[in-house]
Structure 1
Amino acid sequence: MRRARWPEVAPVRFLALGDSYTIGEGVTEAGRWPVQLVARLREHGIAVDAPRIVATTGWTTDELSAAMDDAALKPGWALVTLLIGVNDQYRGRPAAGYRERFLGLLRRAVDLAGDVRRVVVVSIPDWGVTSFAEGRDRTAIANEIDTFNAIARDETLRAHARWVDVTPTSRDAAANPGMLVDDGLHPSAAQYARWVTLIAPAAEAALRERGTPNAA
């Protein structure tokens, strides 16, 4: 049996919102997970444009929101991903405030996608396992990351958007050489490839809301 094929259509648009993890601090453009995701989707016969990435290292939830204002983004994206919050946690901001700010971003993502089912939220990875965190309270970092992720997951599922948990995979980095870039903090392209394996099914499901591929 041949692989299911999508009808010949113009490539759809993909918007990736986030921070250093989405812009791929320390990796080449091809190593960024949104770029790897597009390559994976194309391998599966789904026509997707190169991703529009609105993300910068260090951004918090409110900084991402301000950047979205500056970018004057308009609706019409077939897929929108959102990964944000690690810098809120890193700067010691309370989790209670994160809920309101995250929910505001989630609502904006839904508006841009035009359909909540086309929004994929990715969990915050645990930087506490990295060599950058040496000398810090790794247990406290993990607990705070879990709290932030629980909030994001709760609001994502409540809204009926799609949730992908990459945090356990990020925690494997401590025992796997090559999973971090030279700064000892940010994921390598190899780690992002593992994320894409988890994200791709949700992205494909989101894009199938546009229609069903032809089976053969």
Structure 2
Amino acid sequence: MLFLLAMLFLAGCSSPLTGQEHNGKLTIQTAPQARMTYVAIGASDTYGTGSKNPRTESWPAVLSRMLAHNGDGKMQEQSLGQNTVRLINLGIPGMHAHDALGVELPVAIDAHPNLITVWLAVNDLVDNVPPSSYAQDLERLLQDLQTKLPHVRIVIANVPDLTLLPRFSSTDTTQLAHSVASYNAVIQSVVDRHHVVLIDLFQAWQELASHPEFISDDGFHPSTAGYARLAQLFYQGMKQHRII
């Protein structure tokens, strides 16, 4: 696992190198420095499980392109190098908040990013981690990020309405709704305490009820179209809070 994370970090952080011959000598050119380094902390729904190509179709990948192109596909009035957003997607399927403290948090800090998104709650909820325990882990995650990276912009998403997902159609939706509400209350409390930006997916993604194409065939993870919509919701929320 540590080797996997190291390779993931290097893949996200290293600048492409190109060789060019000049006056008979081979010189190495690095890509222009990125305007922004963006780190995504999360689990399978950050990694991109359910999409056709997680590397390019996860919502952090789509969001990073939106950030680089001003959200509408049009290049900002900057050079290509200055406009580049370097994405380090730390999403690992099956990840819980407590495990992320030892696996994803150190990599995020070492990357010295300008922007961090955190969407890390659904696995904890589904696996019956008590909200109080989850609250302690999320609190520590944010405290460490803000202590080590005092100028970083942090965005946190809450839990969508899981009762709208086909996977839970045969479960006790009343109890599930209660669990979602408890987790979202915890997230709101931590967000308020640390003065970070909340993306309220519970409210914003109620449209799942009328857009089944946003969910993949497993009935749980977003589809390629769903990840594209999630990226829009994150981008809109960040624009609304004027952090981009």
**Same structural fold, with TM-score higher than 0.5 when normalized by the shorter chain:** yes
C-alpha spacing 1:196/1:63, structure 2 compared with 1 (3 Å): same
The DSSP-based 3-state class of the residue aligned with 2:41 is strand
Runs of 4+ in 1 over 4 A off after TM superposition: none
Q: How far did 1:101 drift?
A: 0.8
Match of 1:41 among 41, 44, 67: 67
TM-score normalised to the size of structure 1? 0.82
Q: Who is 2:176 aligned against?
A: 141
Q: Is the 8 A contact 1:80 1:113 kept in 2?
A: no
Q: How far did 1:26 drift?
A: 1.5
Q: Who is 1:31 aligned against?
A: 57
Identity %: 24
Q: Who is 1:90 aligned against?
A: 126
Q: Is the 8 A contact 1:179 1:187 kept in 2?
A: yes
Q: Who is 1:214 aligned against?
A: none
The DSSP-based 3-state class of the residue aligned with 2:36 is coil
Q: How far did 1:24 drift?
A: 1.2
2:243 is equivalent to residue 206 of structure 1: yes
Q: Who is 1:19 aligned against?
A: 43
Q: Is the 8 A contact 1:170 1:191 kept in 2?
A: no
Q: Say which one has the larger Rg.
A: 2
Q: How far did 1:77 drift?
A: 0.7
Determine the C-alpha separation between the residues in 1 that align with 2:108 and 2:197: 24
Q: CA RMSD, aligned part only? A: 2.3
Per-residue CA shift, 1:30-89, capped at 9, x if unaligned? 221111111111221383423101121221111111212664741621001111111111
Q: Is the 8 A contact 1:86 1:124 kept in 2?
A: yes
Determine the C-alpha separation between the residues in 1 that align with 2:62 and 2:148: 22
Determine the C-alpha separation between the residues in 2 that align with 1:155 and 1:48: 31
C-alpha spacing 1:48/1:164, structure 2 compared with 1 (3 Å): farther
Determine the C-alpha separation between the residues in 1 that align with 2:232 and 2:108: 31
Determine the C-alpha separation between the residues in 1 that align with 2:137 and 2:154: 17
Amino acid at match of 1:206: I
Per-residue CA shift, 1:9-41, capped at 9, x if unaligned? 842100000111111111122221111111111
Amino acid at match of 1:56: I
Structure whose residues are more often strand by fraction = 2
**Which runs of no fewer than 5 residues in structure 2 stay unpaired?**
1-31, 71-75, 77-81
Instruction: Report the number of matched residues.
Output: 199
Amino acid at match of 2:195: H
Per-residue CA shift, 1:92-150, capped at 9, x if unaligned? 1211111111111112332454326x111111223332111121012221221121111
Q: How far did 1:189 drift?
A: 2.4
The DSSP-based 3-state class of the residue aligned with 2:156 is strand
Determine the C-alpha separation between the residues in 2 that align with 1:173 and 1:148: 20
Q: Is the 8 A contact 1:22 1:53 kept in 2?
A: yes
Instruction: Specify which structure has the bigger relative contact order, considering alpha-carbon pairs within 8 angstroms and separated by 6 or more residues.
Output: 1
Instruction: For 1:144-183, list aligned pairs within 5 A.
Output: 144-183=179-218
Amino acid at match of 2:156: V
Q: Is the 8 A contact 2:35 2:84 kept in 1?
A: yes
